[in-house]
Copies of this chain bind each other. A is one copy, B any other.
Amino acid sequence: MLRRGRFGRPMDAMASEYTSSMQVDVRLFSPVVQINAAHTVMLAERKIISPQDAAAILRALCDLHAKGIKALELRPELEDIHMAVEEFVVATTSEEVGGKLHTAKSRNDQVAAAIRVALRLEILEIRAALLELVGSLTALAEKNVSTVMPGYTHLQIAQPTTFAHHLAAHAWAFIRDLERLELVYVQANSSPMGACALAGTSFPVDPIRVARLLGFKRLSENTMDAVGSRDFALHTMAALAILMSDLSRLAEELVLWSSAEFDTIEMPDEFSSTSSIMPQKKNPVVAEIARAKAGRVGGALLAALTVMKALPQSYSLDLQELTPMLWDAVDQTKSSVRIMSRAIGAIKPKVENMRRRAEESFAVATELADTLVRDAGLAFRDAHSVVGRMVASATEAGKSPKDLSFEDLQSACREVLNRDIQLSEVKFRPALNLERCVEARALPGAPAPKAMRAQINLLKREMKIRKKLVRAEKRAILKAEEKLLKLARRMSR
């Protein structure tokens, strides 16, 4: 259709397939129909086309909307879904009437608008899924505020903490991911319609009306920027790549904890596979794939950054190549967050193993040193050295933490500081008690059960606020869609 006036020959078949976006465009079907409907409504309202022509076009569009994408012929030589929809309208009405559909718009603004319409909903879905995941983590944490486990640094056992505290650490990262996605949403939810090819139009269009009909909250401030920018896509992919980075860290821990060596969670059969005949061998495949997907989403971001690098204004076809990367990042993230949310909801902590590991290590050593500072007046660095020496001797002698005696401490003190320590023996034993040690860390954010309950309440409040926002934003765009279709149907009569 486009080549009629200008070109003698059709496009080379291989070139046509290479440059067509038809296959990927499938997910833009509904947005493209909506955009055409909103545009037509506005054209009629502004008397740029006649009510009769508008009615005929809207009839065709409503018809197409009802029939779905299978009504379209998706030949690659039509280049993209935008031309396929226009062709349908022309075929259903006439060359003359259907030929008016593209008045005062261009594929350039329409492509950008369609991606944004489709993306808005995806971001909301990912935010909803992320809230589910935070919910799963919070629910599991709530059951485990008193489940003592070792806290790690450098993958070495460092200090006792609780399973709840550990799970909540991940939850807060996801809350920040949500916060980022909220800005992503705001920036994506802006209408480029009216920008046409790049310089706007001399028709008296009403871009604000079109934006409202499509449920957009903002309007592009510059028509060249409207068609030539994709930073909203880069921004989305960046937020998703960071989210997946956070998710991969949780996934890694599921893999570690499922190993025979850690053995601190039970991954249920439904989320495991077996590839061999060993019964202890339940492969944590969901976590493995989620971990790997972080690479995939990061790669998509990088690919997109490379595509955009040094691209002059305004629209170039390179931008088309960026869109599948965006959808891949969206799809991989969405499914990963959803499945991890289910997996977290299903894992069973092996509470005794967690506690035993914490107990067998010298995880309480810090607390003992702190006690020496607090109750025996030692400088922190001295206390650090005394306890270090005590534990070194214990290890050499094959003693485990529970075998330690007050005398061991005194003798270490003599070795290091050349004097006895001034500590009442009653203070010594409790310092080695895991539960006491955890309970003593009672400031906001720390693992003490009481503090954790407060932290969980904070998480719940965050979820509540953010869920409400997701719901409100979803409602707004669905309502706009419904209203638009109703209006289109009314005007098509």
Q: Is the CB of B242 within 8 A of A238?
A: yes
Binary per-residue interface labels of chain A (22-52) against chain B in the complex, 1 for a CB within 8 Å, 0 otherwise: 0000000000000000000000000000000
Q: State how many angstroms separate the Cβ of A231 from the closest Cβ of chain B.
A: 5
Which of these, B79, B270, B361, contacts A273 with CB under 8 Å?
Answer: B79
A8, A159, A176 — most chain B CB neighbours (10 Å)? A159
A472 is an interface residue with CB less than 8 A from chain B: no
A481 is an interface residue with CB less than 8 A from chain B: no
Q: How far is the CA of A443 from the CA of B151 in the complex (A)?
A: 44
Q: Is the CB of B108 within 8 A of A231?
A: no
Q: How far is the CA of A460 from the CA of B236 in the complex (A)?
A: 27
Q: Is the CB of B156 within 8 A of A312?
A: no
Q: State how many angstroms separate the Cβ of A353 from the closest Cβ of chain B.
A: 10
Known contacts A165-B199, A220-B445, A295-B303; decide if A381 and B278 are in contact (CB<8 Å).
no
Binary per-residue interface labels of chain A (280-313) against chain B in the complex, 1 for a CB within 8 Å, 0 otherwise: 1111111011011111111111111111111111
Binary per-residue interface labels of chain A (318-348) against chain B in the complex, 1 for a CB within 8 Å, 0 otherwise: 1011100100000000011011001100000
A422 is an interface residue with CB less than 8 A from chain B: no
A274 is an interface residue with CB less than 8 A from chain B: yes
Q: Is the CB of B381 within 8 A of A99?
A: yes
Q: Which residues of B contact A321 (CB under 8 A)?
A: 289, 292-293, 295-296
Which of these, B18, B169, B283, B443, contacts A335 with CB under 8 Å?
Answer: B18
Q: Is the CB of B260 within 8 A of A313?
A: no
A388 is an interface residue with CB less than 8 A from chain B: yes
A3 is an interface residue with CB less than 8 A from chain B: yes
**Secondary structure dominating the interface of A:** helix
A379 is an interface residue with CB less than 8 A from chain B: yes
Q: Which of A65-73, A118-126, A202-210 is near enough to bind chain B?
A: A202-210
A382 is an interface residue with CB less than 8 A from chain B: yes
Q: Is the CB of B6 within 8 A of A279?
A: yes
Q: How far is the CA of A254 from the CA of B284 in the complex (A)?
A: 22
Known contacts A106-B275, A443-B207; decide if A312 and B249 are in contact (CB<8 Å).
yes
Which of these, B6, B177, B202, B360, contacts A277 with CB under 8 Å?
Answer: B6
A357 is an interface residue with CB less than 8 A from chain B: yes
Which of these, B150, B165, B197, B221, contacts A158 with CB under 8 Å?
Answer: B197
Q: Which residues of B contact A55 (CB under 8 A)?
A: none
Q: State how many angstroms separate the Cβ of A209 from the closest Cβ of chain B.
A: 12
Q: Which residues of B contact A179 (CB under 8 A)?
A: 183, 187
Q: Which residues of B contact A338 (CB under 8 A)?
A: 14
Q: State how many angstroms separate the Cβ of A407 from the closest Cβ of chain B.
A: 18
Q: Which of A363-371, A463-471, A482-490 is near enough to bind chain B?
A: A363-371
Q: How far is the CA of A420 from the CA of B220 in the complex (A)?
A: 39
Q: State how many angstroms separate the Cβ of A372 from the closest Cβ of chain B.
A: 10
Q: How far is the CA of A251 from the CA of B155 in the complex (A)?
A: 13
Q: How far is the CA of A446 from the CA of B220 in the complex (A)?
A: 10
Q: Is the CB of A271 within 8 A of B160?
A: no
A149-182 with Cβ < 8 A to chain B: 150-161, 165-166, 168-173, 176-177, 179-180
Q: Is the CB of B245 within 8 A of A308?
A: yes
Q: Which residues of B contact A248 (CB under 8 A)?
A: 308-310
Q: Is the CB of A455 within 8 A of B306?
A: no
Binary per-residue interface labels of chain A (212-249) against chain B in the complex, 1 for a CB within 8 Å, 0 otherwise: 00000001111111111101101100110110011011
Q: State how many angstroms separate the Cβ of A190 from the closest Cβ of chain B.
A: 9
A391 is an interface residue with CB less than 8 A from chain B: yes
Q: How far is the CA of A110 from the CA of B270 in the complex (A)?
A: 25
A198 is an interface residue with CB less than 8 A from chain B: yes
Q: Which residues of B contact A223 (CB under 8 A)?
A: 165, 441, 445-447
Q: How far is the CA of A165 from the CA of B200 in the complex (A)?
A: 11
Known contacts A249-B313, A275-B106, A388-B277; decide if A270 and B15 are in contact (CB<8 Å).
yes
Q: Is the CB of A440 within 8 A of B202?
A: yes
Q: How far is the CA of A245 from the CA of B200 in the complex (A)?
A: 25
Known contacts A99-B380, A219-B444; decide if A260 and B166 are in contact (CB<8 Å).
no
Q: State how many angstroms separate the Cβ of A77 from the closest Cβ of chain B.
A: 10
Q: Is the CB of B245 within 8 A of A366?
A: no
Q: Is the CB of A242 within 8 A of B252?
A: no
Which of these, B150, B153, B246, contacts A108 with CB under 8 Å?
Answer: B153
